[in-house]
Amino acid sequence: MKIKLVSINPTIGYLKHNFEKIIENIKISEKENIDLIIFPELSLIGYPPLDLLDKKSFIDEVISYNQKIAEYSGKVGVLFGSVTRIEDQIGTNIFNSAIFCFEGKIKSIHRKSLLPNYDVFDEVRYFEPSREIQLLEFKGKKFGVTICEDAWNDKDFWVHRKYDFDPVEEVVKLGAEIIINMSASPFSIGKEKIRTEMFSQIAHKHKKPTLFVNQIGANTDLIFDGGAKVFDRNGNLILASNRFEESSVLFDIDKIYNPITYDFPEDIVDVYNALILGIKDYCQKTGFKKVILGLSGGIDSALVTVLAKEALGSENVFCVMMPSQYSTEGSIKDSKKLIEKLGVKSTIIPINTLFDEFKKVLKNEFKDLQEDVTEENLQSRIRGVLLMALSNKFGYLLLATGNKSELATGYATLYGDMCGGLAPISDVYKTKVYELARFINRNDEIIPEEIIKKVPSAELRPNQTDQDTLPPYDVLDKILYYYIEEAKEVDEIVEYGFDKNLVEKILKMVDRAEYKRKQAAPGLKITNKAFGTGRRFPIVQRWR
């Protein structure tokens, strides 16, 4: 029996498009004499559809597409991810489901049992959990179908379990000979390793071949890294397709495979690929062809320029340099060097006259008052207004260039450098920004060394540096990491060897900047805890 696992890139809610993608793959597999083709979780819908799932008309249309896919199943068995409904007077009545069809008909429906409801996940909001497990029986074989989270609750793998039920154990008890997991499992640093080890252990523990297929593609903030994998009954990885692109593997049950060597990609390579996919899909799926961004001469905007160029091509990236009286000579020179190296489009718009005019207009209001952060923000906001004007006039998507360390501490100007439709590196710590720059320059100096070596500065007042306000980034980022990603508190972080006053100060900065982040552009999630939908704190609160 030949099984094909296909990782596809659906667009959320674009049912016709996603349907066609599925049909196209079914047709190809017919020619390849495939017995069973398997698509990822919610492959017809895209993940996460959020409140679209509350629309009856949406679910109606999904269900009618389910039927249409069944009609295309013919001699190839098709297992795809979608939503099903059971009419009832209690609860939401819809289920995150895997639908198996064959010979033009839906043969069995396998509903997700474990609904993730933490971090960026809100599945309990939409779906009913299922406790009815049945096997998929096809051509004399018994398959245990699980959907993403269903496989993430093995008591031998996790110290702390989220649920008291293990669907994998259940399908094995029922006699499954092969375990299938269809996922929409978003990328974060290190996840590929955990995922691979976990499925390897599941295969090994239950002594069953285990097949995994993940959704690929970015949907706003979430980046699905894709990939299909097959593990043999000893837990050896025997097949693996490319991640970060649509890909597939063909597994013949009756064939004997040798274990393959699978070198986990370095984190930095994964991050680089993820960010490029994130930018590319945001633009492609929203219909933007070109992006615009402010190039300051600093490393953040230089990095975003490189990523945008890789995602969209140099002809689609428009860089705007907006020097003020506080900008250093080097900033423009270095920016120009980068622009030339990348071949992206650019212009220079000095902001001095605008800055002067604002100060003049505000002179009466501000009389006898010292210049302070107000005037710094003013410069940042003038730049924001200019970029948005260009974005509006030409229909380019504005990319915000702030990093995670800034967004965490509030070292960013609301309606200024925070302007943008997408913030590609808002989940990338400053130290990781440097790491990415060095990775990009591994063979060739793409980002001018001057930019990498420059002392970080917002250049909003004379001789300003980031470290006037913040500790060195290697210290800051570690504290931020422990606080944001490891959920440690002051005393615990101090135990790692940091100064208590400093830790308290930083944590307070993070808490206080909540109101800014509430209005931030969506960012691409690459860590296990990004700002945005996965981290929800009240703005009005007094804890600490």
424-453 residues near a copy of itself, rule: CB under 8 A: none
Which listed residue (34, 382, 479, 530) binds a copy of itself by CB under 8 A? Answer: 382
Query: Is the distance from CB of 299 to CB of 434 less than 8 angstroms?
Result: yes
Sole window of 79-87, 178-186, 302-310, 487-495 interacting with a copy of itself (rule: CB under 8 A): 487-495
Among residues 445, 411, 370, the alpha carbon closest in space to that of 516 is found at 411
Q: Of the two residues 142 and 359, which places its CB atom closer to a copy of itself in the complex?
A: 359
Sole window of 27-35, 213-221, 301-309, 332-340 interacting with a copy of itself (rule: CB under 8 A): 213-221
- As measured in angstroms, the least distance from the Cβ of 491 to a copy of itself is 8
Residues that bind a copy of itself (rule: CB under 8 A) add up to a total of 92
For position 538 contacting a copy of itself by CB under 8 A, the verdict is: yes
For 150, how many CA atoms within 13 A lie in the half-sphere containing its CB?
Answer: 31
Q: Of the two residues 6 and 398, which places its CB atom closer to a copy of itself in the complex?
A: 398
Three-state SS across 293-337?
A: EECCCCHHHHHHHHHHHHHHCHHHEEEEECCCCCCCHHHHHHHHH
Site map for a copy of itself, 447-486, x if CB under 8 A? Answer: ----------------------------------------
Q: Of the two residues 264 and 394, which places its CB atom closer to a copy of itself in the complex?
A: 394
For position 535 contacting a copy of itself by CB under 8 A, the verdict is: yes
For position 515 contacting a copy of itself by CB under 8 A, the verdict is: yes
Whole-angstrom Cα Rg for the chain: 26
For position 357 contacting a copy of itself by CB under 8 A, the verdict is: yes
Q: How far apart are alpha carbons 496 and 436 in whole angstroms? A: 26
Q: Of the two residues 123 and 232, which places its CB atom closer to a copy of itself in the complex?
A: 123
Q: For 348, phi and psi rounded to 5 degrees?
A: -120, 125
- As measured in angstroms, the least distance from the Cβ of 8 to a copy of itself is 15
Within 134-163, which residues bind a copy of itself (CB under 8 A)? 159-163
Which listed residue (1, 189, 385, 475) binds a copy of itself by CB under 8 A? Answer: 385
Q: For 534, phi and psi rounded to 5 degrees?
A: -90, -5
Within 237-296, which residues bind a copy of itself (CB under 8 A)? 281-282, 285-286
41 as an active site residue: the answer is yes
- As measured in angstroms, the least distance from the Cβ of 507 to a copy of itself is 11
Sole window of 23-31, 236-244, 337-345, 519-527 interacting with a copy of itself (rule: CB under 8 A): 519-527
Within 317-336, which residues bind a copy of itself (CB under 8 A)? none
For position 125 contacting a copy of itself by CB under 8 A, the verdict is: yes
Query: Is the distance from CB of 355 to CB of 382 less than 8 angstroms?
Result: yes
For residue 538, the SS3 value is coil
Tokens of 160: 């702390």
Which residues contact residue 53 at a Cβ distance below 8 angstroms, ignoring those fewer than 6 apart?
59, 83, 94, 126, 127
Within 46-65, which residues bind a copy of itself (CB under 8 A)? 46, 48-52, 54-58
Q: C-alpha angle with apex 383: 312 to 452, nearest 5 degrees?
A: 60
Find the helix or strand (DSSP H, E) in which 179 lies. Answer: strand 178-183
Among residues 192, 197, 191, 199, the alpha carbon closest in space to that of 168 is found at 199
Among residues 294, 299, 291, the alpha carbon closest in space to that of 417 is found at 294
148 as an active site residue: the answer is yes
Which listed residue (105, 118, 197, 269) binds a copy of itself by CB under 8 A? Answer: 118
Could you list the active site residues? 41, 112, 148
